[in-house]
C-alpha cells in the first residue's frame, strides 16, 4: 500500500490577494519605497496607483514612472 506521506491533500490557493492589500496600504500611508528593476536599476518614490500589470511611482523633482510588474525584482519600504 502506497502512502501519501507529507501530502495534506489540499492545494495551496493560487491567489491570496496579499499583494493587493500590501500595495493599497503603501498608497494610503504614502510610504516611500525603493524599487529594484530586473536590470538592477533602482528608483524611489511614492506609490500612487497599481493594477494587474503596472505600478505608478511618483517622484519628487523627477518624472513620474509607470513600472511594469514583470520588470520589478522587488520593492522595499524606505526608512523602515
| Bridge partners of residue 47, in order along the sequence | 57
Range of the domain at 74: 38-80
Do the beta carbons of residue 35 and residue 72 sit within 8 Å? yes
pLDDT band at 79 (very low <50, low <70, confident <90, very high): confident
**If you ran DSSP here, which 8-state letter would residue 23 be given?**
H
Cα gap 67→56, rounded to integer Å: 6
The tens digit of pLDDT for each residue in 8-23 reads 678 877 778 899 999 9
Helix (H, G, I), strand (E, B) or coil at 72: strand
Q: Domain for residue 44, yes or no?
A: yes
Q: What pTM did the predictor assign? A: 0.76
Q: Domain for residue 30, yes or no?
A: no
Cα gap 77→73, rounded to integer Å: 14
Q: How many structural domains does the chain have? A: 1
Cα gap 80→72, rounded to integer Å: 20
Amino acid at each position: 500500500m502506497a502512502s501519501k506521506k507529507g501530502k495534506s491533500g489540499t492545494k495551496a490557493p493560487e491567489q491570496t490577494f496579499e499583494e493587493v492589500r500590501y500595495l493599497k496600504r503603501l498608497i494610503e500611508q504614502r510610504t516611500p519605497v525603493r524599487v529594484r528593476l530586473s536590470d538592477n536599476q533602482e528608483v524611489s518614490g511614492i506609490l500612487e496607483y497599481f493594477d494587474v500589470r503596472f505600478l505608478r511611482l511618483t517622484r519628487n523633482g523627477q518624472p513620474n514612472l509607470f513600472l511594469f510588474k514583470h520588470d520589478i525584482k522587488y520593492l522595499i519600504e524606505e526608512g523602515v
